Amino acid sequence: MTTRQFGSDTIGNLIGGFRLAVMLPITRAQFRLTEAQVLATPAIGLLLDIAGDWIDAPPPIQFNNYGVSYLLSVYLANLLSLYLVALFHRQGKQFASLVTLQYASYPLVFLASLLLGLSWIKTAELTIVIAVMIVLLLWSLVILFRILRLLLQSTGGTLFASLLVYSIINLSALTLIPEQPLWYGNVIEADEAYKKRVNTENTYYRQPTLINDALHYIEPGNPDREELFFLGFASDARQDVFLKESQAVEEIMDRLYQTKNRSMLLANHLNTFSDQPLANAHNLQMALNGFAQKMDPDDVLLLFLTAHGSKTYELSVNFANMQFNDLPASHLSRLLDQSGIQWRVIVVSACFSGGFIDTLKDSRTLVMTAAARDRQSNGCGRDSEASWFTDAYFKQALPQTGSFISAFDMAKQLVREREQREGEAYSHPQIFIGEEIQTKLQNLQQQSQQGIQ
């Protein structure tokens, strides 16, 4: 096939897809159903989605690694739904044709979504959000209806079942997979974008729903084994590093301690606030109380907190125009005690975080901090993927040692070496090991290793 022929086929399919989308008459013969086109039309859709994320992000724009897995997951779910539709009709060979026609019609659906400004609509009244999503879904189903009639001559129950399965799979992917754009802006330089995109009242009143929805998916502990639960708290939206490192820690815990269905993240960030609970003291209280109801008495909570810290031992809590109180060490201690969660591993990644230890320590608690009470931590710059302590402890030491306590010694040395190379003052990470927690963590480590095997 020549390049000219490929271009002609692609343009012809896009014209046919446009006619499908706007309900104009179309025949199967007007489409070019070649092997090249089954790759070309989804590729065009993928490029449009990448460009859409770029347009939607406030400058300065940065690449988000987690957006790749999100986008691929959504596309795989869509392809799975189309393959099942072909199997329902006992015409598996038509899968490629279904893919070609659907993605040939996608550019117009994408353009409509872009013009509607969905990033703004997410912060509007709930009724508006629901109405827009229903309209787009119904439009997509009407297009699929026309495709099935055109390619498979689908009618009756098979047609209805196909539309139902397609809807369930794609809606599940869009609602259950945490959304991650490929591009996002540096929050500290995007105050104006906040003002335009954050509906303060709507965001405030949605918090109980977001918390309860997140807790709903936390699986209860298994009474026959000791398990780890993860709760992340990234409370300062002014720099991206806090969100990025908390997401990375959550992923590492999922891998090392199988916490995927026992983890939750509270975060203040422009790209997550519409479908993820904010990080503030009230939401932290609700999350801790919800975790306490899911956990067995022998289970362990890993609480990871990251933000700017102060000399008065408070974590900054900042998001857009919303006025939140900072989180003092004393208040954090009260929230933990009130929840009733007994076994705790607490990691505080912040400047002056060593001041949290005296307030949080007890015999069943392991506390680690990125800095001493009178020192600043390093690595929370605008281009950082993780602070230096978080990178050393969670990304390097913990996967190697498999031990929360041994990993701290290795991480402390790695941080020291990096600070010497970079000419930074020593942050002096701190640790407190409760009298009873060490044996508990050894048992947890052994069970987790058996689970991986």
Tell me the per-residue pLDDT of 360-390, one tens digit each, with 9 for 90 and over.
999 999 999 999 999 999 988 766 889 999 9
Q: Mean per-residue pLDDT for 296-311?
A: 96
Closest CA to 394 of 180, 186, 181, 232: 232
pLDDT at 187: 47
pTM beyond 0.75: the answer is no
- Given a cut of 60, is residue 287 above it in pLDDT? yes
What does the alpha-carbon distance between residue 207 and residue 275 come to, in Å, rounded to a whole number?
9
Least confident of 61-75, 117-131, 345-359: 117-131
Residue 180: count of CB within 10 angstroms of its CB: 19
pLDDT at 451: 58
Q: Mean per-residue pLDDT for 18-29?
A: 92
* Contact by Cβ (8 Å): 269, 408: no
Six-digit token string for 295: 């956990």
Q: Is residue 254 very low, low, confident or very high in pLDDT (cuts 50, 70, 90)? A: very high
What does the pLDDT look like over 40-76, one tens digit per residue? 999 999 999 888 878 776 666 777 776 788 889 999 9
pLDDT at 452: 52
What does the pLDDT look like over 384-425, one tens digit per residue? 889 999 999 999 999 999 899 999 999 999 999 999 998 889
pLDDT at 129: 60
Q: How far is CA 318 from CA 307, 326, 327, 331, in A?
A: 9, 8, 11, 17
Q: Which residue intervals of the chain bear CATH 3.40.50.1460?
A: 196-452
pLDDT at 135: 84
Q: Is residue 8 very low, low, confident or very high in pLDDT (cuts 50, 70, 90)? A: very high
Per-position b or e across 363-400, b if 16+ CB within 10 A of its CB: eebbbbbbbbbebbbbbbeeebebbbbbbbbbbebbee
Six-digit token string for 356: 């949290």
CATH of domain 196-452: 3.40.50.1460
Q: Is residue 90 very low, low, confident or very high in pLDDT (cuts 50, 70, 90)? A: confident
- Given a cut of 50, is residue 89 above it in pLDDT? yes
- Given a cut of 60, is residue 206 above it in pLDDT? yes
- Given a cut of 80, is residue 272 above it in pLDDT? yes
Position with higher pLDDT, 382 vs 205: 205
What does the alpha-carbon distance between residue 357 and residue 374 come to, in Å, rounded to a whole number?
13
Mean pLDDT, all residues of the chain = 88
Q: What is the total residue count of the chain?
A: 453
Q: Is residue 453 very low, low, confident or very high in pLDDT (cuts 50, 70, 90)? A: very low
Beta bridge partners of 433: 366
> With pLDDT > 70 as the criterion, what percentage of the chain qualifies?
90
Position with higher pLDDT, 50 vs 124: 50
Q: How far is CA 337 from CA 188, 252, 362, in A?
A: 34, 27, 11
> With pLDDT > 90 as the criterion, what percentage of the chain qualifies?
61
Q: Mean per-residue pLDDT for 281-310?
A: 96
What does the pLDDT look like over 138-197, one tens digit per residue? 898 999 999 999 998 888 888 898 999 999 998 888 777 766 778 766 544 444 544 456
- Given a cut of 80, is residue 92 above it in pLDDT? yes
